[in-house]
Amino acid sequence: MKGRVSGLVALVVVVGACSGTTTTTTGEISDPFGPPFGVEAAARDFEFIPSSWTVPSNALLVVDFENEGTVEHFFAIIEGPHVDSAADLDRSLIFRELGVGPGATTSDTFLAPTEPGSYQVICTVAGHLEAGMTAKLIVEG
């Protein structure tokens, strides 16, 4: 009997210690971004395969980027106006960038843009965008 009373007192202390916080207990851990959304991308000399991808906004993206070419390539998602030359690119507009050497594959996991729209994807190696390495990431709300 004495043990029960002590337990009750301890519970009250714990609840009191938690007041004022926003902690909630649901009994299960949920992923606020939903299941990961896979994106398969490949680079050749000098194009992206495919030339567009459609993803949900704010989804957790798992991008697998394979380089089927003979030189290094990058997969860079650009925010802002369409660019025609890497020389014109303001690097602060790069939302996310992955690079991989010839014959290799890299993977990256990140959140898609929250703002729906069409985002340009380019290779940032000098001359590659001009040679045709441009694609689209379509973000749907």
Which residues here bind Cu ion, judged by CB under 5 A? 73, 123, 125, 128, 133
Q: Which is nearer to Cu ion, 44 or 116 (CB)?
A: 44
Q: Which is nearer to Cu ion, 41 or 133 (CB)?
A: 133
Long-range contacts of 2-5 (CB under 8 A, 24+ apart): none
Q: Which is nearer to Cu ion, 112 or 123 (CB)?
A: 123
Please say whether the beta carbons of 41 and 49 come within 8 A: yes
In sequence order, the β-bridge partners of residue 62 are: 38, 109
The rounded distance, in Å, linking the Cα atoms of 56 and 33 is: 10
Q: Which is nearer to Cu ion, 96 or 128 (CB)?
A: 128
Tell me which residue has its CB nearest to Cu ion: 123
Question: What is the closest distance, in whole angstroms, from the C-beta atom of residue 78 to Cu ion in the complex?
Answer: 14
Specify the amino acid at residue 82: H
| Tokens found for residue 78 | 């650009």
| Tokens found for residue 27 | 């009994």
Question: What is the closest distance, in whole angstroms, from the C-beta atom of residue 44 to Cu ion in the complex?
Answer: 9
In sequence order, the β-bridge partners of residue 113 are: none
Question: What is the closest distance, in whole angstroms, from the C-beta atom of residue 65 to Cu ion in the complex?
Answer: 11
Question: What is the closest distance, in whole angstroms, from the C-beta atom of residue 88 to Cu ion in the complex?
Answer: 16
